[in-house]
Amino acid sequence: MWKEDAGPVAKEHRDPIWDKFSAATKVIHDKRQAYYEERDKLADKNQTIKQNIIAEIKKITAAGAKNHKGWQDRLEEVNALKELFTQTEPATKALNNHLWEQFRIVGREFNHAKNAFYKDLKKDQQENLDKKMKLIEIAEQHLAGDDFNGSLPVMKRIQSEWKEIGHVPRKVSDKIWKRFQAACNGFFDKKNAQRKEENAEETANFEAKMRVFDALKEMLPQDDQDAMKADVEKHMADWAAIGRVPYSKRHIQDKFDKLLQAKLKAAGMSAVDAEMLKYQSKLSSLESGDARDFTNERFYLKKRRDEIQDEKRQLENNMQFINAKDDKNPFVVQLKKNTAALDKELDLIKEKQKQLNILERQMNKTDDEDSKDEESSEATE
């Protein structure tokens, strides 16, 4: 407009008015230049912010998470970064579109990683559900059974396994837990009820054995030793016919054995014969007891046999350091006496082991025959 629309001015005014106009337009140009310089600086800053946001989302995606809560925390972080990206002013014009495209790519990569986790999580949860359903089946099977001693280790094991199995789909989590809990509680309720019945029965057995014990204790010596022996054996049979007693009252067996040995000795029986006859009572109680009693008796006999053999070896070593032919030497006499006593006890232990083995074979044979009878009955049905 200065050059084309406005006409010329007087010569004396030309330079002054131009200088004035030029100064005014320079101010405008300087301000415009400052504005663009500031805008470019801000664009560079925005570019750095957006590049950092993109890098941070990549970092979060690469780190991922191990569980649902972890991924929800990562999602909140990414959403906050996305909001910051969209609220940040544009970067330099040359890079702004490129940064936007990079932002969309890292967002898709994060979503893909998150969705892949939940897809695998659903698969894992289904596998966990299958595992827990199998444990429920096992628990309900043992709930329906009556072998509480055999089932107890299994129930404890599956309870431990249940805790180790991971999460299942939330919609069925409470339902299957209540079902499993009901089966476990039902089993232990039945077991405790049976135990109470057994305790009552064992208490009655203890009272019955005490009556036999008292009767044997009050039995007076007789001139007819055969008749006395028969009376003792009758008490032994009565004792063996009675079942288990409470574990806290198990000492009654030792008291009865000692009393029995005294009565048998009074009936004229030798110590060895009395001991073996008394052991028949022990075998009878083992036959009507459980596997634990049988195992304990076998362990005791083996342990005592090993101890006797060790003691004999020690006595033989001692004999090597003295004159074993000197029968008047008190030390030699005592060593020989001790050795003879050990030999006698060792023979007794071996005989007890023999009788125990015979009883075990008889019990196994009976079990096999019972099993065959059951199979035959099932086949007939």
pLDDT over 90 at 282, yes or no: no
Q: What pTM was estimated for this model as a whole?
A: 0.41
Look at 42-56, 106-120, 167-181, 214-228 and tell me which has the smallest mean pLDDT: 214-228
Task: Give the chain's mean pLDDT.
Answer: 83
Provide the pLDDT for residue 323.
Answer: 59
CA distance 381 to 373: 12
Question: Quick check: 49 and 88 in contact, CB under 8 A?
Answer: yes
Torsion of CA 258, 260, 262, 264, to 10 degrees: -150
Are 148 and 191 in contact, with CB atoms under 8 Å apart? yes
Q: Positive or negative, the Cα torsion across 319, 323, 325, 331?
A: negative
Asked if 132 and 168 touch (Cβ cutoff 8 Å), the reply is: yes
Task: Give tens-digit pLDDT for 312-367.
Answer: 888 888 777 765 566 677 777 788 888 888 888 888 888 888 888 888 888 777 66
In degrees rounded to 5, what are phi and psi of residue 198? -65, -40
Amino acid, res. 40: D
Per-residue pLDDT at 75: 93
The C-alpha atoms of residue 24 and residue 207 are separated, in whole angstroms, by 125
Closest CA to 126 of 86, 173, 57, 79: 173
Q: Is the four-CA dihedral 105, 111, 112, 117 of positive or negative sign?
A: positive
> Taking 90 as the threshold, does the pLDDT of residue 81 lie above it?
yes
Reading the block at residue 295, the tokens are 């195992």
Classified as helix, coil or strand, 221 is coil
